[in-house]
Structure 1
Amino acid sequence: MIRALSAKFITSSPSIKEAPSFVTSEVVFLGRSNVGKSSLINALVNQKNLAKSSSTPGKTQLINFFEAEFCEEKEESQKEKFKLILVDLPGFGYAKVAKSKHDEWRKNLDEFLKFRSDIRLFIHLIDARHFDLDIDVNVDSYLKSFLRADQKILNLYTKSDKLNQSQKSAIMKFDPSGILVSTLSKSGIDKAREAIINHALGR
C-alpha cells in the first residue's frame, strides 16, 4: 500500500521560462475548469487545502508546483520512500479573458507540456458525467501526438459518486485503463495514487 507522507507548495510560474528545475520526476495534472483538479490533488496527498481552487474557473493561469513524499509499505516491515513533483496546470475551458491573453496562455502551456524534460506522467482529469466530450478527446489526441517513450497518460474520471453502476460500466467500457475517482466518497483515491506512483517511477 502506498501512503502520502507529506506535501508542500513550492512556487507558481506563469510560463516554462520562469518555471524552476527539479531533479525529481514530475506528474502533470490537467483538465477542464471545474473538473475537481484541486480537490483531487488534495485527496491524493491527504491534505485539505494544499491546492486551492479559483473562485472564477479558468481565470487563474499559473502553473503551480508541489513536492509530495510517499511511502510504500512492503513485506517484513520494509518501507520505501520517494518524492514526486506535482504540477497543477490551469484549467482549460471558459476563461473570460481577451483572445490575445488566451492565445498567450495556450502558447505557454504548449511549450511547457512538450519541452518539460522531467515530466513522466500526464494525468488527464475528466468529469465522469460527461466523459466523451470533444474537448477531452482532443486533449487526449494532443498529448499522444508528442508523448515520449518515457512518458505515460492516465485518465482519472472525477465525481464518479454521482453515477449509477451502469454509467460507471459505460466509462470502463469506453476507457478500460481509466480510473473512477471521487473526492467526496474517497472511492478510487488509493488506486489512483498507486497507479500514479507506478507510472511516474516507470514500473
Structure 2
Amino acid sequence: MKIVDAQFLTSAQSIIDSPAPDKAEVAFLGRSNVGKSSLLNTLTNRKGLAKSSSTPGKTQLINYFDIKFKTSNEELPYLYARFVDLPGFGYAKVSKSLKRDWNKNLTGYLEERPCLQIFVHLVDARHTELEIDKNVDDFLQTIKRGDQIIIHAFTKIDKLKQNDLQKLKRAYPDGIFISNLKKRGLEQLQNKITGYLFGN
C-alpha cells in the first residue's frame, strides 16, 4: 500500500471549524524545528505540501490533508485518510504544562476529535530527554482512548553517530527512526500507519 495522492484540504483554528470527522485522522505533533513539515512532504512525495513557518512556533493553525492510498485489492483499489499537521510547540523553552504552552484549541482537538486514530509524536533524535517532550508524552498517554495509538518517530537520525543511533534503538525498541535526507524509516512509518488504520 502506498500514498498516490495528497491534497491540502483546509486550515482550522479549533475543533469547531475543523472539517467533518468523516475520515480516520493521523495527527503529527512535535516541537518546533523537529522536521515535521519535511517529514510530511517526503512521506507524501509532495514537495511544499506542508509549509513550514519562517518563525518557529508562529503558526497556530491545524492543517488538514486528504491522503489517498493505493491497495493491491482490485475490489477496493483505494483507501482514504487524513494527515493533520499541528503547530510546533515549546520553541526555545521548556514548560511544566503542555496546556499552558499550547493553545487550548489544539488540546481540545487532541482530546475531543472522534476520528483521530493515531498520534505521531516526532522527537529530535539528538535531544530525546527534553522535558517538553516528556510532558507531551505523558499528556498523550493520559488522553489516549482504547482505539488510538501513539507512534514515536525520531527525526534527523542522519545527524547521529552510528553508535548513538544503536543506543537510541535499544532504548526505544518500538520507535521509528527517520532521516528525511536519506529517506530512511519513511516506509516503516507509512506501513505502521496503514497497518493500524486498514489492517494488513
- Per the normalisation by structure 2, the TM-score is 0.90
Structure 1 position 82 matched with structure 2 position 79:
yes
In the alignment, what sits opposite 1:70? 69
Q: How does 1:56-67 map to 2 (within 5 A)?
A: 56-67=55-66
Which runs of structure 1 show a deviation greater than 3 angstroms over 4 or more consecutive aligned residues? 77-80, 102-105
Alignment of 1:43 with 2:42, yes or no, is yes
TM-fit CA distance, 1:201: 3.1
Distance 2:184 2:2 in 1: 15
DSSP-derived class of the 1:198 partner? helix
Q: Which residue of 1 aligns with 2:183?
A: 186
Asked if residue 141 in structure 1 is aligned to residue 156 in structure 2, the reply is: no
Structure 1: gaps of 5 or more residues: 97-101
Is 1:165 aligned to 2:162, yes or no? yes
In 1, Cα distance between the equivalents of 2:177 and 2:102? 29
Cα distance in 1 for partners of 2:129, 2:92 equals 21
* Separation in structure 2 between the aligned mates of residue 201 and residue 142 of structure 1, nearest angstrom: 26
Q: Deviations over 1:92-151 (max 9, x none)?
A: 01389xxxxx95952111111000000000000000111121111111111010111100
Match of 1:12 in 2: 11
Letter of the 2:5 counterpart? S
Higher relative helix content: 1
Find the aligned partners of 2:178 and 2:109 in 1 and give their Cα distance. 27
Match of 2:91 in 1: 94
Conserved 8 A contact 1:8-1:66? yes
* Aligned-pair Cα RMSD in Å: 2.1
Residue-pair matches, total: 195
- Structure 2 portions without partners, runs of 5+: 94-98
TM-score (norm 1): 0.89
Partner of 1:99: none
